[in-house]
Amino acid sequence: MKDFLANMNLARWVILVSLVGSIGLGIWGWSLHGERVALEQSLVVDPNLGEVASRARNIQVLSLRHSELRKEYDREGLAGQDNPDTYFRRLAIHKDVALGGIEIKHQREHSPEKGVVDRKYLISPDTAKNSGRGTVGFDRARIANFLWLLEDQSRRVRVTNIRLDPVERKDPWVPNSDRWTWEVEVTSRQKAPDS
């Protein structure tokens, strides 16, 4: 080391310091260049090419999707362990349904496979509230609308049992009045809470 320092002169110091500095600056400059090129590529306005534009667009698309899903989530009222009665009752009084009050009985849960649970709800006209309609029954189209809305308004609900009986029990060769009593079972298949 002593010999090395003894042999150094101004020119050699300049060369040494400049080369070391050049190497350091070169490494830094190269990383800056790479960063700059990457930024310029990401800033291409075409969302298919530019990462930044693509992310900005994705954020808006995903935001809209989130808003939509969140509305659906709130509308169903079926989230988690929440009581879905509100969902059923709201559809029952829909203007195209108008079935009036309904009675909802929560059935025993059933597990068709590990980690999955079927929550079943037995829905029928509310006997007390529909006492006056017990003899006249319900219009077939309204019942059908109710059943269709049950499945249409939520992806997590299926009508799994339907029973329609005519109000008037007539002989088979006598056309009936197309007024019905009804009872349906709705199933919501969900991930088991403990899975």
Partner 1 sequence: MAKSCGIRIGPRRYELVVLDGGARKHRITAFSTGVLPYGGEDDVPETVAILREAIKAHNVPVENTAIAIDTGLAAFRTLKLPALDESKIEDVLKFEVEAQLPQWNIDDVVVDFVTLDHTEAETSLLVTAVPKADLGSLLELSARAGFEAQEAELEATAMVNAALSADICHIDDAQILVHVGELSTAVVVMDAGEVRAMRAIHIGGMTRDPAWESDEEGEDPEALERSVEQAVSRIRRELGRTLSGARTVNPIDAIYACGWELENLVETSIQDVPVYELDVFEEDGGQPAQGTAPLVVAYGVALRLLGGGTVRAHLRREELRYTGAFERLELPLAVAALMLVTLVGVFCIFESKQVALRSADVQLWLQSAINYMNGIPKQGIAGNLQYPWDDLDKYVANAASNDSGEVLAGIERKIRTEVGNLDEELGNTGKITQPQSALEALTRVVGVIGELGDEIGRVSIRKVIAETNTGGVGKDESVEVRLDMSFFANNASDATSHFDRFRNALADQDWTISVDARGTSEFPDGNGIYTDNLSIVCDLSKIDRSDEEVGS
Of positions 103, 118, 126, 139, contacts partner 1 by CB under 8 A: 118
HEC string of the chain?
CHHHHHCCCHHHHHHHHHHHHHHHHHHHHHHHHHHHHHHHHHCCCCCCCCHHHHHHHHHHHHHHHHHHHHHHHHHHCCCCCCCCHHHHHHHHCCCCCCCCCEEEEECCCEEEECCEEEEEEEEEECCCCCHHHCCCCEEHHHHHHHHHHHHHCCCCCEEEEEEEEECCCCCCCCCCCCEEEEEEEEEEEEECCCC
Of positions 2, 48, 49, 72, contacts partner 1 by CB under 8 A: 72
CA-based nearest residue to 154, from 77, 92, 94: 77
According to the binding rule CB under 8 A, does residue 49 interact with partner 1?
no
According to the binding rule CB under 8 A, does residue 105 interact with partner 1?
no
According to the binding rule CB under 8 A, does residue 164 interact with partner 1?
yes
Residue with Cβ nearer partner 1 (83 or 131): 83
Of positions 35, 49, 101, 134, contacts partner 1 by CB under 8 A: 35
Distance CA 144, CA 146 (A): 5
Residue with Cβ nearer partner 1 (129 or 191): 191
According to the binding rule CB under 8 A, does residue 98 interact with partner 1?
no
According to the binding rule CB under 8 A, does residue 141 interact with partner 1?
no
According to the binding rule CB under 8 A, does residue 56 interact with partner 1?
yes
According to the binding rule CB under 8 A, does residue 153 interact with partner 1?
no
The nearest distance, CB 132 to partner 1, in angstroms, is 24
According to the binding rule CB under 8 A, does residue 82 interact with partner 1?
no
Residue with Cβ nearer partner 1 (11 or 128): 11
Of positions 33, 105, 106, 129, contacts partner 1 by CB under 8 A: 33
